[in-house]
Structure 1
Amino acid sequence: MGFQPRMHNRIEGFSILGGLKRLSFPGMTADLWDVACAPEAGGFYLGEDPRLFIVLSATGDERRSLRLSAPGLEAAEAGPNLSPSLSYVPAGLGLRGEMRAVRTLRHLDLHIGREALAERLGEGTDPRALSIPRLLQPSPELLPVARLLAVECEAAQPLLPLYAESLALALLIGLLRLPAPAAPMRAGLAPWALRRVVDFIETHCQRAIRLEELAGLAGLSPSHFCHAFKASTGMGAHRYQMEARLARARTLLKAGRLSISEIATETGFADQAHFTRAFRHLSGTTPARWARLHRDT
């Protein structure tokens, strides 16, 4: 069983058209509602988890409007074009909704478990952003995303849950305008340590070099060394050694005095096939083709 919304409400003046269309996926539930509304329909809603309320479409006369209010907050009102408007309602916020002159309303309720929200957004998200209500925000750029999620709610065979989850997170992040967390700054190797390690790799690149050897040269633990070396060079130590091997291999290929199998042995590869795979992966072509294009004449 998927995530079950924990909602308490008192409503009046609504009639459900066609039944509730619900789509549950890990930690979240999307409910698609089509309702007929009395001239002054409304209700009180209290959820134990955060949720999005998304107006997809509405019909009625030109006086139609929707008003949302909560204790301690300035009321928000939309009308006569209620769509596209999105609202983010934090957990535990009691919300009053009042409609005027609305005949039918199609809306999407996206309920998100607090544990799932923390897991998806990670530690880099400011928790204060998730405690601030956003009521009836005009968001035309997010309406196509909401409609895609509504299509999934109606589908006889929904796609993989990851698809609906991605749409739901896009709506939440887009409405709240959550920024990417700043990347942590990692210090690189000291200049003397970088020169010492690079010289060692280039001298011994044809043999297997243990991480502990390189870390010892820099006076660091293996874990610290890995981060510092990548911060300094933009690549891991193993990749750097492979690049050094292939640089030596290119020099030998260009000279043209050794066969490809001999070059493979000379540069520390297990065999010609291993050498060819590594060369193609990092150079985009085979050693033989590269040699034909670059060999000294």
Structure 2
Amino acid sequence: MNKFKVIQPSGLLAPYVKQYWFLRMEDVVRSSQRLVPLGCVALSFHRGNFAYSSQEKGCLPRSHLYGITAGYTDLVFSGCIDFISIVFQPAGTCRFFLISPGELKDRQTSLDVLDDPELLELEQRLNETADDLACVGLIEKFLFSRMCRFGKQDDKRIHAVIDAIRQGNTDVDSLAQTACLSYKQFKRVFSEKIGANPKDFLQIVRFQKLHHLMQLHTSMTLAELAYECGYYDKSHLIKELKDFSGFTPAQLFNACEPVYSGYHGLFRSAFIDLPPE
């Protein structure tokens, strides 16, 4: 049985959580996927076989917080694949965890080292629960309890900056003004709250826009894509695409699966199927 499901968070959690992902695949001989920068933190619970990670140079922790990264990671699965991922909004994790996104940067942090008994209890209960909606109920109960306990943790300045970026503002000086912070203060606060400095985050956002357009199998030329996504020129686009995905434009076009709705869009923005070796 192969099943992939996306479940949206409840309304009160939507400002902090993007989606819940559920993926089950049985008797996989060997599957290789490339995880490219998504620009947000994810909490993953692996209930199937271990997966090999090129970033870790070994098996992924069974369950872990995946921090923002500016590079790609190749994952190799086999046997039974069964995982749940909570994909947070860029500034969402601060409402639920004492560890800052900045401490998670470029890391896949095992839950075992977080000194968080409630998170380990959630992991155990998810391992014992087969129904996806029941799992979402357990996750949201955990998240709501954290919101109540930690109190008001929102940083309105950072949320305003993220909104400005979504509206197309990519000038760091202007974003610092939006946050009512000096340039130096803004870089420090942004890195702590988001898990990447403003320049790196904006590059990831630009790459994600490019990747999305390429998944639409657009007829746009590279020059048109460069202009639409805010690259200086084709050479700039090709370099950053190679840095973030390891692919040339032609290779990424060939690897991309068309996206016809937003249902799989976020998942396809993170994972790219690799050809068999």
TM-score, shorter chain, exceeding 0.5:
no
Normalised-by-shorter TM-score class: 0.3 to 0.5
Bigger RCO (CA 8 Å, 6+ sep): 2
Structure with greater strand share of residues? 1
Question: Normalised by the size of structure 2, how large is the TM-score?
Answer: 0.36
Question: Normalised by the size of structure 1, how large is the TM-score?
Answer: 0.34
